[in-house]
Amino acid sequence: MTTVTQKQIKLSVSRVIDAPRAELFLAWLDPEFRKRWWLNDKNEGPISVEIDGRTGGTYRITQTHDSCDHDEPDGYVWIIEGEFLEVTPNDRIVFTWNVNHTSEPVRDQRVTVDFEDAPNGTKVTITHEGMMSESIASGTEQGWGGMLENLEKAIGAAR
């Protein structure tokens, strides 16, 4: 059995999206809209999305495994779930992050999504922190970058 070395990691990804803060904020909390942009590498949406988007509420996303660099076989169902620690309309969403990776379960990480006015739209910054290996950190950073790109496309298509 291989031992995975984990350490406390904090990573951040940002993107300016041509949309108002309120629209982007709601895109994170509306389960039906979330399905439009929460896509795996094969551009497949989640199997299900449940969101109780209030402080103390919970979320659960089930999604089939894609081509990310993890040990799960194709078709494995990821369960991503957690609790909302802070929901400040149009400004910030903070939630816990738990994923059932088979080789390296991800538990009790913290994700903060900040929405700031910016020239040409809103700057969305995702900060993800917790104990993880370098491999998980790399995939996480790449994944959040892809999600912001997907969000931008979904917002544009909805207009």
Return the pLDDT at 77: 84
Please give the order of strands across the beta sheet that includes 121-132.
7-17, 121-132, 106-118, 92-99, 77-88, 58-64, 48-51
Residue type, 111: V
Return the pLDDT at 76: 75
Return the pLDDT at 22: 97
Return the pLDDT at 74: 62
Using the 8-state DSSP alphabet, how is residue 119 labeled? T
Note the pLDDT tens digit of each residue in 47-91. 999 999 999 999 999 988 665 555 556 667 889 999 999 999 999
Return the pLDDT at 105: 75
* 101, 81 Cβ separation under 8 angstroms: no
For 81, the token pair is 């779930």
Assigned architecture for domain 7-157: 2-Layer Sandwich (3.30)
pLDDT per residue, tens digit, the chain (159 aa), is: 456 788 999 999 999 999 999 999 999 999 999 999 999 878 888 999 999 999 999 999 998 866 555 555 666 788 999 999 999 999 999 999 998 876 677 889 999 999 999 999 999 999 999 998 888 888 889 999 999 999 999 999 987
High-pLDDT (> 90) share of the chain, %: 69
